[in-house]
Chains A and B, each alone.
Chain A
């Protein structure tokens, strides 16, 4: 009896040692340049053994609103932490009205953020409020994949705040999914212009994404392009690399994406890993008189003083080389606001009512980063 007990205790302890050693074999978290509430550390799934993990810093500044800095992703507990973003922010929101005037530049005033409280960010949806103006939500994101009877629901971390831009509110949202995807969105809401409440206009958010895949040198950007051989039946995909700084239109028929790679980053199969910026337009992407609105994508060389979307043309003149270096991506989305009675009405000389949130954004998606389907048994 005594030896049987000893054996049981021995094997249980052995199991505990093995499990503990496996746990301690995780790659240690990287040093982060922020702390406290400004440091977000989120592993997925939220219940059960960890698979993927995000570590990032956020900050808020008047004008630009909510920024993401220094974001790392780890695709498995034993993988290296992958540096992804140095700084991601909304650079401008340009709002021209149909009659040609006014033309607003909503990030060029140091607007504060709106208050955010428990009603905006309820704990019931995984919400936590930071500093009275930022919401963090961690929750289910719907189906990650389905294969007949097999299914997995995904999860995501969302950070958002809202810019109080006079009569507008702009919801600035950053999503970090369990599968390594990042989504940036802006939602326009609150009041129509009290002086032109029925005039159609466009809200054009322009993001500046200082992407540092696997660190900040050695990155290149290619234009993901799908080509149909019409009138033939076949199609091809090509990825011409940007050699110098440039602005380019997004062609929905070509499924254009900005594909960022690092020459040293390959997955376990030896394939070149990428992160692909894919537009998520709602309706379309606009063009206006101003030069910086006449392209959807821009690729520039990193320069800490180059933060203003309005000056993009000057940033690429003359164009600097951008292959195998430190690159910054810019993307312009559009929200076409055709006012409707649902937006509100004039009551006793005052505009009364709010426009429901309208969104636009982009997805930043890994390609050949994982060695196999994430979260697949």
Chain B
């Protein structure tokens, strides 16, 4: 309005013209704004937005997806029912069969479960809209990503190794396994143990095929230097490897 007022000569700024201008402009603005609202495909905030296909899963979605996957017969045939670990549950962006503009993705979750005893996993594709498991794929242990539970197992193995205890000294039991918040952010800790997945390129090395994790021990900002501590989760063994200094 200020813009229009500025352009009108001073002589015209009568109460009448200004009132008319304001009313007409408001009416015009309302018309244009209203037209934009009615454009098809225009995104509008709607209550069902939570369920938009690619929005992150909330706690409830994750619980539903996990429950559906665990109760699926094909999944149970692969990994059993007892001591089955949840590795991940996340949105999967599955393309609709058709590529037409009206074909929209359906909200799907990918659930990966792992049976550590048999080292076998299952990837389940869960349709959250129809509450159905649409596809189940068998995963070898080597294909299953590692989690905090693997790290906790590796740390427990390490704590039973005398050489590791000697390296860690009296603070050995003060380390805690690195954890994350609900938003997937690392939680800062004073003394933490973390790990990286290692695979060997030498087929004679157990870690060529086994699930192996190298441990690292953090105190504040710094990491304990020294030999490599590798936990072989398949063989339930710990290897302490020293390298010559370069």
Which residue of chain B lies nearest to A32 when distances are taken between CB atoms in the complex? B43
**By the criterion CB–CB under 8 Å, are B222 and A133 in contact?**
no
**By the criterion CB–CB under 8 Å, are B43 and A16 in contact?**
no
Report how far A38 CA is from B202 CA in the complex, Å: 43
Chain B residues with CB under 8 Å of A351's CB are: 222-225
**By the criterion CB–CB under 8 Å, are B12 and A9 in contact?**
yes
A100-B201, A103-B201, A105-B199 known; A86+B186 contact, CB < 8 A: no
**B195 touches which of A166, A195, A216 (Cβ 8 Å):** A166
Chain A residues with CB under 8 Å of B99's CB are: 215-217
Q: How far is the CB of B124 from chain A (nearest CB, A)?
A: 12
A132-B183, A304-B94 known; A109+B226 contact, CB < 8 A: no
Q: Is A140 on the interface with B (CB-CB < 8 A)?
A: no
Which residue of chain B lies nearest to A195 when distances are taken between CB atoms in the complex? B228
Interface residues of A in 1-60 (CB under 8 A from B): 1, 4-5, 8-9, 12-13, 16-17, 20-21, 23-24, 28-36, 38, 57, 59-60
Q: Is A371 on the interface with B (CB-CB < 8 A)?
A: no
**By the criterion CB–CB under 8 Å, are A61 and B90 in contact?**
yes
**A13 touches which of B28, B224, B243 (Cβ 8 Å):** B28
Report how far A108 CA is from B212 CA in the complex, Å: 11
Q: How far is the CB of B79 from chain A (nearest CB, A)?
A: 17
A9-B8, A86-B93, A326-B95 known; A350+B219 contact, CB < 8 A: yes
Q: How far is the CB of A343 from chain B (nearest CB, A)?
A: 12
Count of chain A residues with a beta carbon within 8 Å of a chain B beta carbon:
83
Count of chain B residues with a beta carbon within 8 Å of a chain A beta carbon:
88
**By the criterion CB–CB under 8 Å, are A70 and B93 in contact?**
yes
Q: Is A251 on the interface with B (CB-CB < 8 A)?
A: no
**By the criterion CB–CB under 8 Å, are A24 and B32 in contact?**
yes
**By the criterion CB–CB under 8 Å, are B41 and A133 in contact?**
no
Chain B residues with CB under 8 Å of A302's CB are: 95
Q: Is A321 on the interface with B (CB-CB < 8 A)?
A: no
**By the criterion CB–CB under 8 Å, are A109 and B195 in contact?**
yes
**By the criterion CB–CB under 8 Å, are A34 and B214 in contact?**
no
Report how far A166 CA is from B177 CA in the complex, Å: 11
Interface residue stretch chosen among A111-119, A172-180, A227-235: A111-119
**A103 touches which of B8, B20, B199, B246 (Cβ 8 Å):** B199
**By the criterion CB–CB under 8 Å, are A1 and B42 in contact?**
no
Q: Is A191 on the interface with B (CB-CB < 8 A)?
A: yes
**By the criterion CB–CB under 8 Å, are B54 and A70 in contact?**
yes
Which residue of chain B lies nearest to A107 when distances are taken between CB atoms in the complex? B145
**B225 touches which of A61, A164, A197, A199 (Cβ 8 Å):** A197
Report how far A113 CA is from B182 CA in the complex, Å: 11
Q: Which residues of A contact B (CB under 8 A)?
A: 1, 4-5, 8-9, 12-13, 16-17, 20-21, 23-24, 28-36, 38, 57, 59-63, 69-70, 86-87, 96, 99-115, 131-133, 164-168, 191, 194-199, 215-217, 289-290, 302, 304-305, 308, 311, 326, 346-347, 349-352
Give 18 A-B contacts (CB < 8 Å), ordered by A residue.
A12-B21, A16-B28, A23-B32, A24-B36, A33-B55, A36-B49, A61-B90, A109-B151, A112-B181, A113-B186, A115-B186, A133-B183, A194-B225, A195-B228, A290-B201, A304-B93, A305-B137, A349-B224
